[in-house]
């Protein structure tokens, strides 16, 4: 039955409508409310070129036509009548609606009630395009999307926002919150606080002014080079003292004599 309506509508559209392409869709949608006791909404429709032409009305328990494509209304009304007088078609749609509502109980906790705790890190970026002193709070791997991030300076909240998280593609979210440090002092303490549905209490990470990782690396390399130079100098002094004690004195210009 469903195959026959698709074929006839495509043939009718090819003859009657001045377009070059045709798409026939059978769409079954099942949407849920925002709580476990909320109603499940079931929708079953046929669409021609992305326009609904015929659909099932669960309230009236019957199919109804959509007034969308005037040239096709005659054939749409014909199939509306045929579907409403066909027990198999009505039973099929009723069973789909029943399955929609039953699956809500099965998948609710694994989907809507799913909670994943976030991870977080606070750091100063080694470089940024504007060369401004910035502090980054990176929060990732959490679900659901809604999350509150607060910046605390010296035990006082300076910024509190419900930041817009970004989906990662693994059914989790992440976000980056940035704080300007241009008015900071060396003795200032900063904390990033995260509030999320998966946490019994807020998650907090504290940061205090200090060297960045890039600065630490540069200082370490400089220290090593300085140490090597100092060792070479000390070795030269020791060699010179030993040579002097042994009575050896380099003769100026000796190497220039042929």
Reported as a pLDDT band with limits 50, 70 and 90, residue 20 is low
Strands (E), 12-133: 24-31, 41-48, 51-57, 62-65, 119-123
pLDDT tens digits for range 50-62: 888 889 988 888 9
Containing H/E element for 175?
A: strand 173-180
Query: Lowest-confidence range among 25-34, 135-144, 176-185, 208-217?
Result: 208-217
Q: In 3D, which of 21, 213, 198 has the Cα closest to residue 114? A: 198
Average pLDDT, the chain: 78
Question: Is the pLDDT score of 76 beyond 80?
Answer: yes
Q: In 3D, which of 14, 195, 4, 10 has the Cα closest to residue 83? A: 4
pLDDT tens digits for range 171-216: 899 999 999 888 888 888 999 999 999 999 999 999 987 544 454 4
Question: Is the pLDDT score of 246 beyond 90?
Answer: no
Containing H/E element for 237?
A: helix 213-245
Instruction: Report pLDDT for 6.
Output: 56
Instruction: Report pLDDT for 211.
Output: 46
Q: How many CB atoms lie within 10 A of CB 137?
A: 25
Q: What pTM does this model have?
A: 0.50
Residue 60 Cα distances to 30, 56, 57, 231, angstroms: 18, 9, 6, 94
């Amino acid at each position: 039955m469903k195959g026959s309506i698709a074929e006839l509508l495509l043939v009718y559209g090819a003859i009657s409508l001045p377009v070059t392409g045709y798409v026939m869709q059978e769409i079954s949608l099942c949407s849920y409310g925002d709580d476990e006791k909320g109603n499940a909404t079931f929708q079953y429709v046929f669409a021609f070129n992305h326009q609904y032409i015929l659909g099932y009305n669960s309230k009236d328990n019957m199919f109804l036509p959509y007034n969308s494509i005037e040239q096709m209304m005659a054939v749409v009304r014909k199939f509306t009548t045929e579907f409403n007088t066909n027990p198999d078609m009505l039973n099929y749609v009723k069973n789909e609606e029943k399955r929609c509502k039953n699956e809500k109980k099965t998948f609710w906790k694994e989907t809507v009630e799913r909670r994943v705790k976030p991870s977080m890190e606070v750091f100063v970026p080694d470089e940024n395009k504007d060369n401004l002193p910035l502090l980054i709070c990176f929060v990732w791997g959490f679900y659901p999307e809604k999350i509150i991030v607060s910046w605390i300076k010296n035990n006082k909240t300076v910024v509190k926002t419900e930041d817009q998280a970004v989906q990662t593609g693994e059914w989790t979210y992440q976000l980056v919150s940035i704080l300007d440090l241009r008015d900071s002092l060396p003795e200032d303490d900063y904390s990033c606080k995260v509030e999320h549905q998966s946490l019994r209490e807020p998650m907090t990470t504290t940061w205090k002014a200090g060297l960045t990782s890039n600065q630490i690396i540069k200082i370490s390399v400089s220290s090593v080079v300085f140490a090597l130079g100092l060792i070479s100098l000390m070795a030269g002094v020791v060699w010179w003292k030993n040579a002097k004690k042994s009575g050896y004195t380099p003769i100026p210009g000796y190497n220039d004599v042929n």
